[in-house]
Amino acid sequence: MTATLYVCTTCKVGEVHEDDSQRPGARLHRALTSAPAPDGVQIVGVACLSACKTGAAVALSQPGKWTYVYGQMTEDNAPDILEGAALYAASEDGIVPWRERPVIFRKQSVARVPALTLPLEAAP
Amino acid sequence: MTATLYVCTTCKVGEVHEDDSQRPGARLHRALTSAPAPDGVQIVGVACLSACKTGAAVALSQPGKWTYVYGQMTEDNAPDILEGAALYAASEDGIVPWRERPVIFRKQSVARVPALTLPLEAAP
């Protein structure tokens, strides 16, 4: 099973560019995909994560695990994001021990959502 | 299949209460569960949605649909949240037409995350 790192490619972060490929979200996506993805991680660009107030945003998701959204990411954060994504992929439930998380993941959480586990789906 | 409305029960929104049950998140959870849930919706309290900067927060999730997180919700928003949850549950992919969404859902989006669909999961 593969963890997915979603990257919002349209995040503007208040910048104005005639060329959409120069948006901070698009630049972050390029920085994250400039080298092979970590084991167990696929990187997927998304047109909008609706986190415009806290862009540039990324999200980590995998069946059976908590989903996490992080904001105010920049190209310079790409190595930390990839490290955090690898730890997420290697975790059992998506919850990486606090001290092991990259500092940007500790400080720039936008939201997390529980896994859609069978017991919850089966609830009335 | 049932949509899940997650409600963060620990959101403080800057308020200080000796009794945790008086926190804005707990009050919102009570307001949302004071009547039967809409058809196709289950309401689940969660200890923390890690959206502390934009609490009180709720999330909507269902297998095969986009996940949405909304913030700065209050008890007064409970009817609108339940209406939005019912529309989400009735939608095909979680994307409710913009004009049909409650205003609080249009203006107070925290983030959304794509569904973990089979093609993505099957990708390398």
Of B75, B74, B44, B78, the C-alpha closest to B59 is B44
**A121 to chain B: closest CA residue:** B2
* Confidence band, pLDDT 50/70/90 cuts, at residue A1: confident
Q: Do B50 and A112 touch (CB under 8 A)?
A: yes
pLDDT tens-digit series, residues A79-109: 999 999 999 999 999 999 999 999 999 999 9
The label of the residue with tokens 């310079």 reads A76
Measure A103 CA to nearest chain B CA, in Å: 15
Q: Do B69 and A111 touch (CB under 8 A)?
A: yes
> Residue A10 in contact with residue A20, Cβ under 8 Å?
yes
The label of the residue with tokens 């569904």 reads B115
pTM (2 d.p.): 0.93
Distance separating alpha carbons of residues A82 and B30, to the nearest angstrom: 39
Residue type, B96: V
How many CB pairs below 8 A link A and B? Answer: 97
Distance separating alpha carbons of residues A54 and A124, to the nearest angstrom: 35
Omega before A26 cis (within 30°)? no
Of A115, A7, A120, A109, the C-alpha closest to A57 is A7
**Main-chain dihedrals φ then ψ at residue A60, nearest 5 degrees:** -120, 130
pLDDT tens-digit series, residues A9-58: 999 999 999 999 999 999 999 999 999 999 999 999 999 999 999 999 99
pLDDT tens-digit series, residues B91-122: 999 999 999 999 999 999 999 999 986 444 43
Measure A112 CA to nearest chain B CA, in Å: 5
b/e sequence B77-113, b meaning 16+ C-beta within 10 Å: bbebbbbbbbbbbebeebebeeeebbebbeebbbbbb
